[in-house]
Chains A and B, each alone.
Chain A
Amino acid sequence: TQLLEQSPQFLSIQEGENLTVYCNSSSVFSSLQWYRQEPGEGPVLLVTVVTGGEVKKLKRLTFQFGDARKDSSLHITAAQPGDTGLYLCAGEAGGSTLGRLYFGRGTQLTVWP
């Protein structure tokens, strides 16, 4: 079993604050995806990181893949109420389970105006 641990589980902040969400595993992944799920909706892909040490930016969101491809972080600058949602990381395993995604439990983010 390839477990992905996300922290924190819940995060409640005021608009304008910065935050970081972590996704950690003892397993190596060929790639790692971040999804956001809003209430009543399915998850929507935000970004895929593939290379160890890779950093990708999506407006106020910065994603980083660990050098060893075992962990990742999502940093949000100046959070907005529209950032509210469940953030899920998902690791893609290589080898015999190529193509299989392992999801973390998610971080529920609430941004108050």
Chain B
Amino acid sequence: ETGVTQTPRHLVMGMTNKKSLKCEQHLGHNAMYWYKQSAKKPLELMFVYNFKEQTENNSVPSRFSPECPNSSHLFLHLHTLQPEDSALYLCASSHSWTGTGELFFGEGSRLTVL
């Protein structure tokens, strides 16, 4: 596989569920990102990892918990979410965090919280 792969593509969960989103990049990049895309709002940066280390947490609620076990994999653990958290969650990677360069996005995970 090439590029950035996200699973699952669609997820429906209740407010008391615990689920995880997975992202894998096959580009040899060192930086990985989670973005939230909601209707009528700009793409919101949530987390940034550079060489597996978290370099930015953009004031994201603790019900979202990222994990980056290595430079190729990124997870977003979800628990006790709210309906307003329903959105498209996009994973992206880039060569490095310093000087963003080009972001390579996955196809996204469409999350619906009931």
Partner of B97, one of A44, A45, A90, A99: A99
Contact status A43-B99, CB under 8 Å: no
Contact status A42-B102, CB under 8 Å: no
Contact status B41-A105, CB under 8 Å: yes
Main SS at interface, chain B:
loop
Residue interface mask A11-47, B partner, CB < 8 A = 1: 0000000000000000000000101000011111100
Bin the interface of chain B by size. 20 to 34
Contact status B42-A45, CB under 8 Å: no
Q: Which of B11-19, B63-71, B73-81, B103-111 is the interface stretch?
A: B103-111
A76 in the interface (beta carbon within 8 A): no
Bin the interface of chain A by size. 20 to 34
- In the complex, how many angstroms separate the beta carbon of B59 from the nearest chain A beta carbon? 12
What separation, in Å, do the CA atoms of A49 and B56 have in the docked complex?
25
Contact status A88-B43, CB under 8 Å: yes
Contact status B42-A98, CB under 8 Å: no
Contact status A98-B99, CB under 8 Å: yes
Contact status A92-B100, CB under 8 Å: yes
Contact status B42-A105, CB under 8 Å: yes
B2 in the interface (beta carbon within 8 A): no
Contact status A42-B107, CB under 8 Å: yes
- In the complex, how many angstroms separate the beta carbon of A72 from the nearest chain B beta carbon? 15
